[in-house]
């Protein structure tokens, strides 16, 4: 089973954009650049425009747009076609439920015919020893408090309306099957994490974090995801990104943060992992995911089959033990600088936070799963020097209002 789970995980890993065929513009910040850097000259690309990849360099992909050649940031394009934003915490409609029950029944009958035990057939139905879906559903129910900017009232109103319109637009489109599969996997991994660490159920604090994430994600290509940020109770210093838009930050990490820009840098790093598909891509053509999708759960019931659970074992190990490859972590750092600066935050937030950690004790778990902090800071200084800030007013720093709520 372990060999199978490792094989499936490899199939999910992100591949070169060049090998995928066309990519789609899914951010208002996307430009066709003359060079592979955000500060290069360029002209805006239209939302939904189809681009043909030719080559790649770091976080940029060389593309053909009509008769023009240029570069575009991977943060602003997606291999997935445009789709509507997935709604979290919404139960399946009646027709989906009927199909789900029939498919689940067929799968169970097949497993029984092969002599598999009940545990092997279906690892979890509803609440299980490894999962806390109830806490996850609470997190999904918390709205986003979009951060205000330092400007007059009319500008603040316009800023917030633009962000909300970005996430509510495209309602005539369907949620892609790939996005549904990604969120299904991400929810299961998030529920596992919440079984390890208790979720801090502070609605106001969580809404604030969701608002920061919403603003950052609004300039990225993942218009199809509803990003959620949860606070988990742990003295460890760490943050986690799960597929499908789920981000978790420990109370130990939050206590080290000094400004909202630092908070944005951490959230931007984790969103970067998700936007860049560092958790893997979830294609319906994948045999494993065909099985996963066949087990769409009826309303109010969470189902995680044994094959899914085996892959989650490997993902969980990566989060807590092995960590991601250094290249991916540095890519997420670069993504944090680009996304936060485009969203109206100062780009030095993440490097400032890491500088604090470099002088702190109790960072063993963080160092275990991340590259050397001094290397990351040096790279971040370079990324910051070539970043391009959005022209919108800076975000009003509200961090001090919430940090005082953290227990000593």
In the predicted model, what is the mean pLDDT of residues 180-208? Answer: 92
User: CA triplet 320, 87, 303: central angle to 5 degrees?
Assistant: 55
DSSP string, 46-95: -TT-EEEEEEEETTEEEEEETTEEEEEEGGGEESSPP-PPPPTTPPPPHH
pLDDT tens for each residue of 309-322: 777 777 877 777 77
Say if residues 229 and 245 touch (Cβ distance below 8 Å): no
Angle, alpha carbons 248-253-257 (nearest 5°): 115
Instruction: From 30, 26, 19, 40, select the one nearest 72 (Cα to Cα).
Output: 30
Predicted pLDDT of residue 398: 93
Mean pLDDT in residue range 75-92: 80
pLDDT at 217 over 70: yes
| H/E stretch holding 116 | none
**CB of 24 within 8 A of CB of 51?**
yes
Q: Mean pLDDT score of the chain, rounded to an integer?
A: 78
Q: Please tell me the predicted confidence (pLDDT) of residue 105.
A: 52
pLDDT above 80 (res 170): no
pLDDT tier for residue 168 given thresholds of 50, 70 and 90:
low
CA atoms of 60 and 150, how far apart (whole Å):
32
Lowest model confidence (mean pLDDT) among 30-39, 334-343, 379-388:
379-388
DSSP run (H or E) holding 339: helix 326-342
Output the pLDDT for position 104: 47
Full strand arrangement of the beta sheet holding 31-33:
42-44, 31-33, 68-73, 60-65, 50-57, 23-25, 77-78
Residue 21: left if φ>0, alpha if ψ -120 to 50, beta else—which one?
Answer: left
CA dihedral 79, 169, 218, 207 (to 10 degrees): -130
pLDDT of residue 265: 97
Q: Check: CB of residue 24 under 8 Å from CB of residue 50.
A: yes
Q: Strand, helix or coil at 105?
A: helix
Q: How far is CA 35 from CA 58, 342, 390, in A?
A: 12, 18, 19
Q: What confidence score (pLDDT) does residue 137 get?
A: 94
- For the stretch 177-186, pLDDT in tens is 888 888 888 8
Residue 103 scores a pLDDT above 70: no
Set out the domains of the chain in order of their start, with CATH numbers: 22-78 (2.30.30.40), 94-403 (no CATH)
| Confidence bin at 396 (pLDDT 50/70/90) | confident
Q: What does the pLDDT look like over 349-365, one tens digit per residue?
A: 999 999 999 888 777 77
pLDDT at 163 over 80: no
Give the mean pLDDT of 66-94: 81
Helix 373-385 vs helix 349-358: angle between axes, to the nearest 10 degrees?
A: 160
The answer on pLDDT for 224 being more than 60 is: yes
Q: What are phi and psi of 358, to 5 degrees?
A: -65, -20
* Residue 95 pLDDT exceeds 80: no
Q: How distant, in Å, are the alpha carbons of 213, 231, 270 from that of 209?
A: 6, 9, 13
In 3-state terms, what secondary structure has residue 264?
helix
Q: Has residue 124 got a pLDDT over 70? A: no
C-beta separation of 76 from 27 below 8 A: yes
């Amino acid at each position: 089973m372990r060999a199978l789970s490792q094989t499936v995980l490899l199939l999910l890993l992100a591949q070169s954009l060049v090998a995928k065929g066309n990519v789609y513009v899914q951010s208002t910040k996307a430009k066709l650049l003359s060079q592979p850097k955000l500060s290069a000259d360029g002209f805006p690309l239209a939302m939904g425009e189809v681009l043909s990849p030719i080559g790649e360099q770091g976080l940029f992909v060389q593309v053909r747009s009509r008769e023009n050649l240029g570069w575009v940031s991977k943060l602003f394009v997606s291999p997935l076609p445009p789709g509507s934003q997935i709604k979290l915490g919404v139960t399946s409609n009646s027709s989906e439920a009927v199909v789900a029950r029939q498919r689940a029944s067929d799968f169970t009958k097949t497993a029984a015919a092969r002599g598999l035990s009940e545990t092997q057939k279906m690892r979890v139905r509803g609440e299980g020893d490894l999962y806390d879906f109830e806490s996850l559903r609470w997190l999904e129910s918390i709205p986003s408090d979009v951060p205000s900017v330092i400007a007059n009232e009319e500008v603040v109103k316009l800023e917030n309306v633009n962000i909300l319109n970005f996430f509510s637009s495209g309602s005539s489109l369907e949620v892609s099957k790939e996005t549904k599969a990604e969120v299904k996997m991400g929810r299961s991994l998030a529920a596992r994490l919440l079984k390890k660490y208790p979720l801090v159920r502070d609605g106001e604090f969580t809404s604030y974090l969701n608002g920061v994430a919403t603003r950052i994600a609004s300039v990225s290509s993942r218009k199809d995801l509803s990003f959620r940020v949860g606070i988990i109770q742990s003295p460890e210093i760490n943050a986690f990104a799960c597929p499908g838009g789920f981000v978790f930050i420990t109370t130990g990490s939050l206590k080290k943060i000094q400004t909202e820009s630092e908070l944005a840098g951490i959230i931007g790093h984790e969103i970067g992992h998700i936007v860049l598909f560092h958790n893997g891509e979830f294609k319906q053509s994948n045999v494993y995911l065909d099985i996963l999708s066949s087990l769409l759960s009826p309303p109010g019931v969470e189902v995680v089959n044994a094959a899914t659970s085996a892959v989650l074992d490997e993902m969980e190990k990566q989060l807590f033990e092995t960590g991601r490859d250094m290249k991916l972590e540095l890519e997420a750092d670069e993504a944090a600088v680009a996304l936060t600066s485009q969203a109206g935050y100062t780009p030095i937030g993440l490097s400032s936070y890491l500088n604090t950690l470099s002088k702190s004790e109790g960072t063993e778990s963080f160092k275990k799963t991340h590259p050397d902090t001094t290397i990351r800071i040096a790279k971040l200084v370079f990324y910051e020097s070539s970043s391009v800030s959005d022209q919108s007013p800076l975000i009003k720093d509200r961090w001090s209002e919430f940090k005082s709520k953290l227990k000593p």
